[in-house]
């Protein structure tokens, strides 16, 4: 089957190509593995590479806007975003991060998408090509950028099978001053741990136990749902206390 590849040089061009039935191709780290199996039914890819959607800019002293096609490597290299480096370093390998994009991370299935977990904890907004701005949790269609405020007290922890290049068993991202706590690897999508957030006033232990009411874990090759449920409180507590995984 033949596969058309479009490389429009504007958002309008991307939208026009999508109208004709194309699939968005950002970094390709999730789309291309499916394409390479040859059984997708996809007939056209619409690349964002030339659409001018990459870049990191400060809107004011604390608010940052990141273009959807910014790679994870570019994000990690942004001097203002040093707090995100440990999270980005825990995602896949450098060879993947050189391709994978910020916008794409919002759409990858769990247990991938650790940046999406961070963005949820940051209460990031997604700018959509149709002009709307929504929570990253509600991103759909073509995302053009995400915006968020740089936190004062940031926590990130990811439990994985190997120390590098492994998907999530449990991912915890938190902004303590609010508090906002988001979890990955423990539900079909990244989740805000609203019970844990409410309990955090009583301390990290209380928040860790309460997090069990925020999850809906699954079995996969990395861990069983049983195991994830067992270790969620441990990792939430360690994250909130700033301890290692």
Partner 1 sequence: MRSSLIELTVNDEEREFLVPPGTTLLNALRDQLGLTAAKRGCEQGTCGTCTCLLDGDAVMSCLVPVETVQGAQVTTLEGITRPDGSLDEVQQAFLDGFATQCGFCTAGMIMAAEALLERNPDPTREDVIRAISGNVCRCTGYESIVAAILDAASRR
User: Footprint of partner 1 on this chain (CB under 8 A)?
Assistant: 2-5, 7, 25, 27-29, 32-33, 35-37, 45, 47, 49-50, 73, 89, 92-96, 98-99, 164-165
Q: Please name every residue paired with 67 in a beta bridge, in sequence order, or none if there are none.
A: 145
State the nearest-atom distance from the C-beta of 25 to partner 1, in Å. Answer: 7
Q: Which is nearer to partner 1, 29 or 105 (CB)?
A: 29
State the nearest-atom distance from the C-beta of 54 to partner 1, in Å. Answer: 13
Query: How far apart (Å, rounded) are the C-alpha atoms in residues 158 and 111?
Result: 11
Q: Which is nearer to partner 1, 36 or 135 (CB)?
A: 36
Q: Which is nearer to partner 1, 67 or 217 (CB)?
A: 67
3-state SS record for the chain = CCCEEECCCCHHHHHHHHHCCCEEECCCCCHHHHHHHCCCCCCEEEECCCCCCCCEEECCCCEEEEECCCEHHHHHCCHHHHHHHHHHHCCCCHHHHCCCEHHHHCCCCCCCCHHHHHHHHCCCEEEECCCCEEEHHHCCCCEEEEEEECCCCEEEEEEECCCCCCCEEEEEEEECCCCEEEEECCCCCCEECHHHHHHHHHCHHHHHHHHHHHCCCCCCCCCCHHHHHHHHHHHHHHHHHCCCC
Q: Which is nearer to partner 1, 164 or 241 (CB)?
A: 164
State the nearest-atom distance from the C-beta of 214 to partner 1, in Å. Answer: 31
Query: How far apart (Å, rounded) are the C-alpha atoms in residues 96 and 98?
Result: 5
Q: Which is nearer to partner 1, 49 or 65 (CB)?
A: 49
Q: Which is nearer to partner 1, 63 or 95 (CB)?
A: 95
State the nearest-atom distance from the C-beta of 39 to partner 1, in Å. Answer: 13
State the nearest-atom distance from the C-beta of 164 to partner 1, in Å. Answer: 4
State the nearest-atom distance from the C-beta of 59 to partner 1, in Å. Answer: 27
Query: How far apart (Å, rounded) are the C-alpha atoms in residues 92 and 184?
Result: 15
Residues in the chain: 245
Q: Which is nearer to partner 1, 69 or 232 (CB)?
A: 69
State the nearest-atom distance from the C-beta of 165 to partner 1, in Å. Answer: 4
């Amino acid at each position: 089957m033949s596969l058309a590849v479009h490389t429009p040089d504007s958002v309008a061009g991307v939208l026009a190509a999508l109208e004709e039935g194309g699939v968005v191709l950002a970094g390709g780290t999730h789309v291309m593995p499916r394409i390479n199996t040859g059984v997708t039914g996809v007939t056209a890819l619409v690349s964002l590479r030339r659409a001018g959607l990459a870049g990191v800019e400060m809107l004011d002293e604390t608010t940052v806007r990141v273009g959807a096609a910014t790679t994870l490597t570019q994000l990690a290299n942004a001097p203002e975003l040093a707090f995100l480096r440990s999270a980005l370093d825990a995602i896949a390998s450098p060879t993947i991060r050189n391709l994978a994009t910020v916008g794409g991370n919002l759409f990858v299935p769990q247990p991938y998408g650790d940046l999406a977990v961070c963005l949820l904890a940051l209460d990031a907004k997604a700018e959509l090509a149709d002009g709307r701005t929504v929570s990253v949790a509600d991103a759909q269609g073509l995302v053009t950028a995400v915006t968020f405020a740089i936190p004062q007290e940031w926590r990130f922890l990811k439990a994985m099978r190997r120390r590098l290049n492994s998907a999530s068993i449990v991912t915890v991202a938190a902004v303590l001053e609010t508090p906002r706590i988001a979890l990955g690897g423990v539900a079909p999508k990244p989740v805000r741990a609203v019970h844990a957030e409410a309990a955090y006033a009583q301390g990290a232990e209380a928040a860790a136990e309460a997090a069990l009411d925020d999850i809906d874990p699954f079995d996969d090759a990395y861990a069983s749902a049983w195991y994830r449920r067992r270790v969620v409180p441990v990792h939430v507590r360690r994250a909130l206390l700033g301890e290692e995984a």
